[in-house]
Amino acid sequence: MPTPPATAPQPPAPPIPLTELLAREDLGLRRIAGPADADLLWVHTSEMADPYPYLLGGELLLSAGVLLTDPDRYVARLVEAGAAALGFGVRPVYEAVPEALVEACDRYGLPLLEVPPETPFTTIARAVWRLMAEARHRELRRVTRAQQALATAAARPDPVPAVLHQLATQLSGRAVLLTARGEEVHAAGRRPHPEAAAALTRLARVVARERPGSPASATDTHGDTHLAAYALGGGEGLVLSLATHRREPGDHTVAGIAVVLLSLLAAPHQGADAADRSAALVRLLLGATPAEVAPLLGPDGPWTVIHARRSDGTTPDALTAGALGASLGSALVDVGREDDDETVRVLLPATAGEAPPHPGWTLGVSAPTPLAALAAADTRAARALAHAEATRTPLKADTPVTGLAALIPPDQAAAHARTLLAPLTPPLADTLRCWLSLHGSWDRTAVALSVHRNTVRQRIGRCAELLDVDLNDMDARTELWFALRRE
């Protein structure tokens, strides 16, 4: 059965393999009984007939056998206490290790080391503590490198899969992000045996916070596979699950770093309360006006609409889109659900400041606009994104009306635009607007609209016919551009 991690006192350093201590030729130690594999956590010297009450487990116990009378019971008690190995010093009490002690150690599976008379016990203790210090230094360096790698991964455009991939690499295992129901959200690393994978899913349900009292983490083993599951603090039931073939002392620390990062990446941003956002949606569905629900969405004042697409053309998932929204400062994020829609839309309070470029993303940003005009801002953000992709720039912002254009009353400008552009269908108007914004470039307009360049030529030619203008005339272009900006 899976159990929460033990809360017993932790050793001062990673365990030291017995083989490393035996490899120290200056100590002259020789294993004469018991297995070769053992991990040393401490060193303890005792001449008591029964040191059991004073052992914590994992010790290399050093003794000269001053009060040794019953080797069999002595070794049995050491094994019961969890001692890792016994170091027996020859002379002055014994000229050689008692044969009965050798037989008892073989029988109970306790490694027995012969300590030569010229090697003081304190020298062995110093050697063990030095090996532990070296191991601790190596482990700290490994954890530090892992922390840096995970932090770098969290800054990538696809932070959640990147963190999982880096975690699987650092632990040489499998890292999976699961829902409370056991559904796989993201995964990285070599897939374990199907039975181990099923056990990992069951372990995830143990820590999934669907009921009070669920532990924050749990561990288990399946054959030679170590399993671990950690509940994400803000991930709404998400669980980080790990399957590895080894478990190093620093692995729990590395996993803890990943849990913190994934909790931040998966958690909803706190700029507007989730309950208030839900209430705003309900009120809109029940017929409330945008102005009425505006206070529930957070800050007063204008809003900015951002359209974003991955620069590499991949489709973003909900977690990746949420991470983008959080980095921009908003939890109001929508991921396109259409098969051909790879756009992420973010609604950002204008008080959050200007949206900066984000590596791995191409952004189109509307000018700040009142809540009642968000539909128009959404259109302008889409156009800005198309312009950014056509010009291969990471960010294009729609600029507010300034200069001479700002001197014309908006209602008069809109009326003139409707009259001038009345002959054009929406696809033709969009093509003309894009073509003019890209200075008449056929190729870049085709890229922005995802159509063939000949289609662009045909549409622009049709615009010229319907409007009865020469599109090579700068005055005509200027008037049309003014109208297209205000329709």
> Would you say residue 176 has pLDDT above 80?
yes
Looking at the domain that runs over 156-266, which CATH code has it been given? Answer: 3.30.450.30
pTM of the predicted model, to two decimals?
0.55
Taking CA atoms, 134 is separated from 36, 100, 131, 140, 160, in Å, by 22, 36, 5, 10, 34
Crossing angle of helices 159-171 and 121-154, in 10° steps, is 160
The correct answer on CATH 3.40.1390.20 for the domain covering 16-131 is: yes
Q: Which has the higher per-residue pLDDT, 332 or 461?
A: 461
404-484 matches 156-266 in CATH topology: no
Whether the per-residue pLDDT at 43 is higher than 60: the answer is yes
Averaged pLDDT score across all residues of the chain: 81
Q: Which residue did the predictor score with more confidence, 339 or 242?
A: 242
Listed residue (232, 208, 256) closest to 200, CA to CA: 208
Name the class of domain 404-484.
Answer: mainly alpha
70-123 pLDDT, tens digit per residue, is 999 999 999 999 999 999 999 888 999 999 999 999 999 999 999 999 999 999
Specify the pLDDT at position 11: 43
Residue-wise pLDDT for 209-227, tens only, equals 555 556 778 888 888 888 8
Looking at residues 342-366, what average pLDDT do you find?
A: 80
The helix-helix angle for 318-328 and 251-266 (nearest 10°) equals 80
DSSP bridge pairs for 335: 344
- Crossing angle for the helix pair 426-437 and 374-390, nearest 10 degrees? 50
The domain locations on the chain are 16-131, 156-266, 274-399, 404-484
- Residue 478's pLDDT is 79
User: What local confidence, expressed as pLDDT, does residue 275 receive?
Assistant: 57
CA–CA separation, 487 vs 484, rounded Å? 5
Question: In angstroms, rounded to a whole number, what is the distance separating the alpha carbons of residues 152 and 131?
Answer: 32
First to last CA, the chain: 67
pLDDT of residue 439: 84
C-alpha–C-alpha distance, residues 181 and 201, integer Å:
9
Inform me whether the pLDDT recorded for 4 exceeds 50: no
| CB neighbourhood size of 110 (10 A) | 22
Structure confidence by residue, pLDDT tens digits, 148-167: 888 888 877 788 888 999 99
Residue 274 has pLDDT above 70, yes or no: no
